[in-house]
């Protein structure tokens, strides 16, 4: 496994972006930061996608590995040590130059730097740190940086790196400790959770400092994220979503990403996936994740031991509404923000507009349409001033049949697996801004 | 009917609002139109509005203070729209909010009124203009010219340059850059460590804009290669790619 010394930059970039592409996180969201006026760059909290690759995913960051050399042998990964693939490594200056030159042409929002394990976790983390240090202090880059914290690297090193990055992530890889043991023999759940906890605690500590001293340096201001591979191991949706929920609650993660397993290695331990990666399942998990973060749902409301997997035909919100008909209809002119949000066909934007508009006068169905409500879904679940739009039965089978009929005709639901704009409730691009969430509360 | 004809710019429209209001003819008996965009009507009297920055600033100030910053933003963005009848809609919305019998509380909420046709139209125009501006945060592509200037060409439907100047100047304080909107023949210009501005009815030098810096082509090749290798074949989905990234933008982009 030789790393060619004089490989040209084009070839390196090809190898090291190809090796990074299975990491699904590519968002630049979570922080608003103006430029200082001296360097180059700023950050926009909603995130900006600059391009879209042939798989329809957003390109926001220069997503690369520092090296695809790796001493570990995770069974699901192309870069595992037992694979015979071409290896390459950047120098810190090469990473900096690419970032700067791409950024100033407005190709990207910043850098997403990850790496295989070169020699040891600490050696690798040190390289990542040096690269970021150069980029911030020699190249004066003020755009977005997402960096991996390598499990097993010394705490001080992770801490120092965190002051240079906007977001840090440690991948959980697989939903349970058992699966991890089976597929990633060099990793343990404990080792993965340790840096996650460290980043969480440091963030808290430095937030307090920031309240005292306005110019204290910021530690991972856009928060941390993680990723789980879906469908390489036997966990059900309920287990996966519950893990995500506890990561949000106990580790205060900003995002959990779900990556449909792509078969890159032949290995007896891995499932055969004749239908390709489980994209629809991944899509349902993203929808449910969105409901956890922005709609106030709990994992236990959406799924249970008895019904551990999502409905293939209905999005999780419709599915929930149908099994909770006793909570409907909702009166549009009175319901609070979170109650409105639970109505299929109403999203954060339309809920906000309803709340503002009804201060002026009470609303009827025509007004709702102008507010952006998707009526063909909502009509089964709402009244305006006590009236339904048509005399409809609030009955599970009847609504199910009608919703499925209307769903099969909304292309956004059936043929595409969107990561961010998730329901045809609302065409939300990027994350929902904080003001929207506070609007009705 | 008295028709006030104004120039197609924010200042032009705001001056029109000022003149129409100030004429005391009565809101029902006046209309505001853009100069080039209209069929002449019989039995109407036409008055030319001469764009006046001070009158426009007065209107902007009053709207801000009575109707609020949100409403002002919505109206301002709508005034950049390509919709030919925007001027009159904007006039109606301002009348809605600024009339003497409207309380400040009501005025602050006018923009959320879903029952007024004009408010809904202005809201919608503003949303579209805002969305298009955001598209250019995403899709502007600079190329480096041999003069060191970063140059970008776009073809916008609405006048988005005033909405993107701040973003790019904050991002690139030390660059000389220019964004040319060939749809409107306007240039956004930023000089290193200087404030940005817009030159209307100006096109860049045809020869200079194609003289690339030495390493420009290499950078473009690196970027195009990256866009290819970052895609996961097993997930290929061209339809989804097209949905997020319409052809009309791709045409002007490096990797399009
Ligand atoms: S540590 Fe495991 S997942 Fe990461 S690059 Fe190495 S083999 Fe792949």
Atom 7 of ligand 1, residue of closest alpha carbon = A80
Q: How many contacts does A have with B, using Cβ atoms within 8 A?
A: 163
Residues A151 and A77 in one domain: yes
The per-residue pLDDT for A411 is 36
Determine which of A64, A105, A110 to mutate to test the interface with B (most B C-beta atoms within 10 Å). A105
A227 pairs with which residues across the strands? A257
The shortest C-alpha distance from A151 to chain B (Å) reads 25
Enumerate residues 54 to 93 of chain B having a beta carbon within 8 A of any beta carbon in chain A: none
Interhelix angle A9-18/A92-104, rounded to 10 degrees, is: 90
- CB distance from A351 to chain B under 8 Å? no
Residues B24 and B43 in one domain: yes
Determine which of A52, A76, A270, A365 to mutate to test the interface with B (most B C-beta atoms within 10 Å). A52
CA B212 to chain centre: 29
Within a domain: B256: no
Residues A382 and A289 in one domain: no
pLDDT, tens digit, for every residue of A244-257? 999 999 999 999 99
Ranges under pLDDT 70 in chain A: 1-6, 405-441
- For B112-174, the DSSP string reads G-SS-HHHHHHHHHHHHHHHHHHHHHHH---EEBTTS-EEEEE--SS--HHHHHHHHHHH-TT
Q: Does the distance separating the beta carbons of B235 and A57 come in below 8 Å?
A: yes
User: In the listed set B112, B132, B152, which residue is the last one of a domain according to the structure?
Assistant: B132
Enumerate residues 148 to 187 of chain A having a beta carbon within 8 A of any beta carbon in chain B: none
The per-residue pLDDT for A368 is 93
Instruction: Give the residue, out of A20, A23, A73, A80, with the most ligand 1 atoms within 8 A of its beta carbon, to mutate for a pocket test.
Output: A80
Residues B96 and B162 in one domain: no
pTM for the whole thing? 0.91
Atom 1 of ligand 1, residue of closest alpha carbon = A72
Q: Compute, in angstroms, the gap from residue A75 CA to the centroid of ligand 1.
A: 9
Residues A153 and A99 in one domain: yes
- DSSP, collapsed to helix, strand or coil, labels residue B31 as strand
Q: Does the distance separating the beta carbons of B171 and A40 come in below 8 Å?
A: yes
Residues A296 and A320 in one domain: no
Within a domain: A26: yes
Within a domain: A308: no
Residues A263 and A371 in one domain: no
Q: Indicate the number of domains in chain B.
A: 2
- CB distance from A105 to chain B under 8 Å? yes
Cα three-residue angle A415-A413-A293, rounded to 5 degrees: 130
- Neighboring chain A residues of B141 at a CB cutoff of 8 Å: 105-107
Residues A215 and A262 in one domain: yes
Within a domain: B255: no
Please report the sign of the dihedral spanned by the C-alpha atoms of residue A7, residue A106, residue A99, residue B241. negative
- Neighboring chain B residues of A49 at a CB cutoff of 8 Å: 138, 244
Beta strands in A211-273 (DSSP E): 224-230, 255-260
Cis before B194 (ω within 30): no
Residues with C-beta less than 6 Å from any ligand 1 atom: A 70, 72, 74, 77, 79-80, 116-117
Q: Does the distance separating the beta carbons of A429 and B227 come in below 8 Å?
A: no
Within a domain: A163: yes
Residues 6+ apart with CB under 8 A from B217: none
Q: Does the distance separating the beta carbons of A56 and B225 come in below 8 Å?
A: no
Q: How far are the Cα atoms of A48, A68, A121, B228 from residue B232, in angstroms, in the given order?
A: 21, 17, 27, 9
Q: Compute, in angstroms, the gap from residue B153 CA to the centroid of ligand 1.
A: 42
Within a domain: B220: yes
Backbone angles phi, psi at A354, to 5 degrees: -60, -45
What is the full per-residue pLDDT of chain B (256 aa) written as tens digits? 899 999 999 999 999 999 999 999 999 999 999 987 667 777 789 999 999 999 999 999 999 999 999 999 999 999 999 999 999 999 999 999 999 899 999 999 999 988 899 999 999 999 999 999 999 999 999 999 999 999 999 999 999 999 999 999 999 999 999 999 999 999 999 999 999 999 999 999 989 999 999 999 999 999 999 999 999 999 999 988 998 999 999 999 999 8
Residues A154 and A33 in one domain: yes
Residues A68 and A145 in one domain: yes
User: In the listed set B79, B102, B132, which residue is the last one of a domain according to the structure?
Assistant: B132
Q: Structural domain of residue A156, as residue ranges?
A: 9-267+276-302
Within a domain: B108: yes
The per-residue pLDDT for A416 is 37
Residues B106 and B165 in one domain: no
Residues B73 and B111 in one domain: yes
Enumerate residues 367 to 406 of chain A having a beta carbon within 8 A of any beta carbon in chain B: 367, 370-371
Dist CA A104 CA A97 (whole Å): 11
The enclosing domain of A21 has a CATH number of: 3.20.20.70
Q: Does the distance separating the beta carbons of B229 and A14 come in below 8 Å?
A: yes
- Neighboring chain B residues of A43 at a CB cutoff of 8 Å: none
Q: Does the distance separating the beta carbons of A371 and B231 come in below 8 Å?
A: no
Q: Compute, in angstroms, the gap from residue A117 CA to the centroid of ligand 1.
A: 7
Q: Compute, in angstroms, the gap from residue A404 CA to the centroid of ligand 1.
A: 42
pLDDT, tens digit, for every residue of A91-137? 999 999 999 999 999 999 999 999 999 999 999 999 999 999 999 99
Q: Compute, in angstroms, the gap from residue A6 CA to the centroid of ligand 1.
A: 25
Q: Compute, in angstroms, the gap from residue A184 CA to the centroid of ligand 1.
A: 8
Residues B116 and B57 in one domain: yes
- CB distance from A52 to chain B under 8 Å? yes
Q: Compute, in angstroms, the gap from residue A73 CA to the centroid of ligand 1.
A: 6
Q: Which of A96, A104, A343, A342 is nearest to B213 (CA)?
A: A104
Q: Give the closest of A104, A360, A416 to B142, CB-based.
A: A104
Q: Structural domain of residue B186, as residue ranges?
A: 140-250
- CB distance from A326 to chain B under 8 Å? no
Residues A38 and A66 in one domain: yes
CB A239 within 8 A of CB A300: no
Residues B225 and B243 in one domain: yes
Residue B209 DSSP label: G
Within a domain: B22: yes
- CB distance from A76 to chain B under 8 Å? no
CB A127 within 8 A of CB A92: yes
Within a domain: B90: yes
Interhelix angle A189-212/A155-162, rounded to 10 degrees, is: 50
CB A165 within 8 A of CB A195: no
CB A150 within 8 A of CB A168: no
Within a domain: A205: yes
Q: Which of A40, A240, A75, A55 is nearest to A145 (CA)?
A: A40
Q: Indicate the number of domains in chain A.
A: 2
- DSSP, collapsed to helix, strand or coil, labels residue A419 as coil
The per-residue pLDDT for B38 is 63
Q: How far are the Cα atoms of A80, B17, B23, B25 from residue B29, in angstroms, in the given order?
A: 77, 14, 11, 6
């Amino acid at each position: 496994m030789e790393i060619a010394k004089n490989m040209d930059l084009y070839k390196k970039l090809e190898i090291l972006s190809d090796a990074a592409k299975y990491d699904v996180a590519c968002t630049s969201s979570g922080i608003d930061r103006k430029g200082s006026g001296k360097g180059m760059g700023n950050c926009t909290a909603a995130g900006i996608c600059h391009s879209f690759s042939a798989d329809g995913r957003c390109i926001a960051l220069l997503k690369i590995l520092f090296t695809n050399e790796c001493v570990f042998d995770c069974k699901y990964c192309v870069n595992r040590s037992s694979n015979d693939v071409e290896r390459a490594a950047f120098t810190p200056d090469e990473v900096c130059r690419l970032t700067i030159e791409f950024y100033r042409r407005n190709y990207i929002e910043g850098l997403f730097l990850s790496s295989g394990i070169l020699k040891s976790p600490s050696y690798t983390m040190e390289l990542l740190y040096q690269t970021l240090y150069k980029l911030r202090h020699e190249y004066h880059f003020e755009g977005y940086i997402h960096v991996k914290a390598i499990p097993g690297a010394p705490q001080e090193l992770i801490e120092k790196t965190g002051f240079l990055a906007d977001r840090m992530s440690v991948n959980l890889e697989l939903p349970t400790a058992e699966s991890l043991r089976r597929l990633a023999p060099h990793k343990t759940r404990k080792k993965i959770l340790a840096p996650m906890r460290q980043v969480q605690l440091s963030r808290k500590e430095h937030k307090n400092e920031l309240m005292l001293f306005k110019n204290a340096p910021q530690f991972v201001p856009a928060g941390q994220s993680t990723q789980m591979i879906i469908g390489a191991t036997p966990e059900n949706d309920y287990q996966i979503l519950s893990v995500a929920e506890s990561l949000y609650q106990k580790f205060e993660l900003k995002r959990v990403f779900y990556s449909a397993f792509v078969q890159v290695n032949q290995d007896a331990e891995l499932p055969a996936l004749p239908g390709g990666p489980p994209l629809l399942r991944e899509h349902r998990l993203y929808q449910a994740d969105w409901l956890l973060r922005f709609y106030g749902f709990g994992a236990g409301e959406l799924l249970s031991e008895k019904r551990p997997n999502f409905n293939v035909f209905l999005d999780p919100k419709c599915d929930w509404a149908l099994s909770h008909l006793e909570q409907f209809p909702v009166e549009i002119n009175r319901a609070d923000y979170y109650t409105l949000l639970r109505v299929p066909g109403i999203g954060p934007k339309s809920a906000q507009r309803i709340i503002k508009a009804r201060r002026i006068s009470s609303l009827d169905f025509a007004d709702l349409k102008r507010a952006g409500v998707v009526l063909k879904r909502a009509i089964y679940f709402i009244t305006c001033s006590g009236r339904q739009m048509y005399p409809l039965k609030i009955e599970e089978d009847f609504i199910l049949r009608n919703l499925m009929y209307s769903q099969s005709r909304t292309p956004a639901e059936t043929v595409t697996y969107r990561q961010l704009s998730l329901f045809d409730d609302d065409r939300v691009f990027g994350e929902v801004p904080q003001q929207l969430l506070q609007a009705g509360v | 009917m008295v028709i006030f004809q104004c120039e197609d710019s924010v200042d032009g429209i705001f001056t029109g609002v000022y003149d129409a209001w100030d004429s005391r003819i009565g809101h029902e008996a006046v209309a505001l139109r853009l100069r080039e965009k209209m069929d002449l009507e019989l039995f109407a009297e036409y008055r030319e509005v001469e764009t006046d920055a001070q009158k426009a600033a007065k209107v902007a100030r009053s709207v801000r203070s009575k109707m609020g910053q949100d409403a002002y933003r919505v109206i301002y963005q709508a005034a950049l729209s390509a919709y030919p009848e925007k001027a009159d809609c904007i006039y109606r919305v301002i009348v809605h909010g600024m009339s003497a019998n409207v309380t400040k509380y009501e005025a602050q909420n006018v923009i959320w009124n879903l029952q007024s046709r004009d408010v809904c139209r202005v809201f919608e125009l503003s949303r579209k203009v805002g969305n298009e501006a955001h598209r250019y945060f995403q899709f502007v592509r600079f190329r480096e010219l041999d003069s060191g200037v970063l140059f970008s060409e776009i073809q916008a439907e609405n006048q988005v340059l005033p909405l993107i100047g701040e973003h790019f100047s904050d991002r690139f304080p030390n660059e000389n850059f220019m964004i040319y909107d060939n749809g409107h023949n306007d240039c956004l210009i930023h000089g290193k460590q200087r404030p940005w501005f817009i030159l209307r009815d100006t096109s860049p030098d045809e020869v200079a804009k194609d003289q690339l810096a030495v390493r420009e082509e290499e950078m473009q090749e690196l970027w195009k290669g990256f866009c290819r290798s970052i895609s996961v074949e097993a997930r290929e989905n061209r339809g989804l790619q097209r949905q997020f990234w319409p052809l009309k933008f791709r045409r002007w982009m490096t990797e399009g």
